[in-house]
C-alpha cells in the first residue's frame, strides 16, 4: 500500500537515511525542515517524483496545516537532539520537541497515524544488572530526556500512535553527526588514536541508523498491531559500558589508546541496560551489528574530517 507520509526534520541525521527508504518503497514523502545546519543531505531525493520538500519551521501551525491534508502518517523527527544542545538552548529544545508535537496532535485527525522517535535515555539511571523494559518507571535526567518523554506521553495519549525509544544511534548518514557517542569515539580513534573517557563504567544501548530506518518501515507495515505502544529499539547484544565500547573499537584499530580520567564527569548521566524483546516479538530484528558500524565509520572518516558534522 502506497502512503502519503510527512516527515518533519527529514533532512537531519535520521531523516536523511529514512526518507530515501520511504521513497524507494513507493510512498509519497513530504519533508518539512528549516535546514538550520546548511545541509544538502536530501539532494539525491529530488529525482523522485514522489518527493516533496518544504523549507519551514515544524513549530509553525500555518506551515503544518496544509501539509497535513491527505497525509496518512506523520514522523516528527524535528528536534534539537542531545543533552548538550538542549542544555544550550532550553527554549528551542522545549518548543521543537514538545510544543511542535502538541501542535501536530491538535491539527491531525485520529485516523492519521504518528510514529515518533523518543529516547531510552528516559530511563535515566537503571538498577545494576536489571534490564529496562517499556514498563520500567521513567526517570529522565537531562532536559532532552524530559521533553522527549513528555512528547511521547502526548502522542500516545491521543491514540493511533507509536513511540520508539531509541538507543544511542551510530553509523554514517548524509547529514552526519560526529557528536553521538559511538561516532565520536571512532572519530577520535581514527583521527587521534586516543580518547579520554569520563565515568567509563556507565552503560547504555546502541542501534545502527539503518536499523532505525528499518524500524520505522516495520512500524508502517505493522501499524495496526503495534499502535498505542512504546517500544525500545536497540541491539540486544550491545548493552555496553564506555570502556567495553572502546575495547571493541580497539579490535578494529589496534593502536587506539583509551584512558579513563579520575576527575571530570559525563554531562549525560544516563547509565542503564535495555531489553528490546518487545519489538523483537513483533518480528523486527536489527541487521547491522556494532562491528559492522565500526568498519563503516572507519571508512567514512577516511572521507570526512570537518568537525561541522555535529550538533554542538
Of 186, 184, 168, 173, the closest CA to residue 248 belongs to: 186
Helix residue spans in the chain (DSSP H): 15-24, 61-67, 83-88, 90-94, 100-107, 143-158, 181-191, 209-221, 223-226, 242-252, 277-280, 290-303
Count CB-CB contacts under 10 A for residue 7: 27
DSSP at 211: H
Grid cell listed for 229: 505502544
What are the structural domains, with CATH classification, of the chain?
Answer: 4-171+205-234 (3.40.50.720)
Q: Cα 230 to chain center, whole Å?
A: 14
What confidence tens digit (pLDDT) does each residue in 182-232 have? Answer: 999 999 999 999 999 988 999 999 999 999 999 999 999 999 999 999 999
Is the pLDDT confidence value at 312 over 60? no
Q: Model-level pTM?
A: 0.94
Is the pLDDT confidence value at 265 over 80? no
DSSP at 190: H
pLDDT computed for residue 253 by the predictor: 98
Longest CA–CA separation in the chain, Å: 56
Region of poorest pLDDT, from 50-54, 90-94, 104-108, 280-284? 90-94
What confidence tens digit (pLDDT) does each residue in 53-64 have? Answer: 999 999 999 999
Is the pLDDT confidence value at 310 over 80? no
pLDDT computed for residue 1 by the predictor: 83
Please give the Cα distance from 212 to 23 (Å, whole number): 16
Please give the Cα distance from 286 to 134 (Å, whole number): 18
Residue 280, SS3 per DSSP:
helix
Amino acid at each position: 500500500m502506497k502512503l502519503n507520509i510527512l516527515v518533519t526534520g527529514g533532512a537531519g541525521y535520521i531523516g536523511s537515511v529514512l526518507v530515501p527508504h520511504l521513497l524507494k518503497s513507493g510512498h509519497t514523502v513530504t519533508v518539512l525542515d528549516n535546514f538550520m545546519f546548511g545541509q544538502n543531505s536530501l539532494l539525491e531525493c529530488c529525482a523522485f517524483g514522489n518527493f516533496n520538500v518544504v523549507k519551514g519551521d515544524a513549530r509553525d501551525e500555518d506551515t503544518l496545516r496544509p501539509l497535513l491534508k491527505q497525509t496518512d502518517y506523520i514522523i516528527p523527527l524535528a528536534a534539537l537532539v542531545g543533552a548538550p544542545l538542549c542544555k544550550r538552548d532550553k527554549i528551542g529544545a522545549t518548543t521543537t520537541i514538545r510544543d511542535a508535537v502538541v501542535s501536530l496532535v491538535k491539527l491531525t485527525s485520529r485516523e492519521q497515524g504518528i510514529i515518533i522517535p523518543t529516547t531510552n535515555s528516559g530511563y535515566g539511571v537503571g538498577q545494576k544488572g536489571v534490564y529496562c523494559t517499556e514498563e520500567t518507571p521513567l526517570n529522565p535526567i537531562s532536559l532532552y530526556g524530559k521533553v522527549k518523554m513528555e512528547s511521547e506521553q502526548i502522542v500516545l495519549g491521543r491514540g493511533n500512535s507509536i513511540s520508539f525509544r531509541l538507543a544511542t544511534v551510530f553509523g554514517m548518514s548524509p547529514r552526519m553527526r560526529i557528536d553521538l557517542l559511538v561516532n565520536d569515539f571512532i572519530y577520535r580513534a581514527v583521527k587521534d588514536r586516543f580518547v579520554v573517557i569520563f565515568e567509563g563504567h556507565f552503560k547504555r544501548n546502541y542501534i545502527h541508523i539503518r536499523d532505525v530506518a528499518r524500524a520505522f518501515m516495520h512500524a508502517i507495515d505493522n501499524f495496526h498491531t503495534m499502535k498505542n505502544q512504546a517500544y525500545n529499539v536497540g541491539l540486544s547484544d550491545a548493552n555496553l559500558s564506555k570502556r567495553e565500547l572502546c575495547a571493541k573499537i580497539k579490535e578494529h584499530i589496534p593502536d587506539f589508546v583509551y584512558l579513563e580520567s579520575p576527575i571530570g564527569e559525563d554531562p549525560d548521566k544516563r547509565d542503564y541496560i535495555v531489553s528490546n524483546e518487545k519489538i523483537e516479538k513483533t518480528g523486527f530484528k536489527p541487521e547491522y551489528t556494532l562491528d559492522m558500524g565500526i568498519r563503516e565509520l572507519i571508512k567514512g572518516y577516511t572521507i570526512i574530517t570537518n568537525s561541522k558534522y555535529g550538533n554542538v
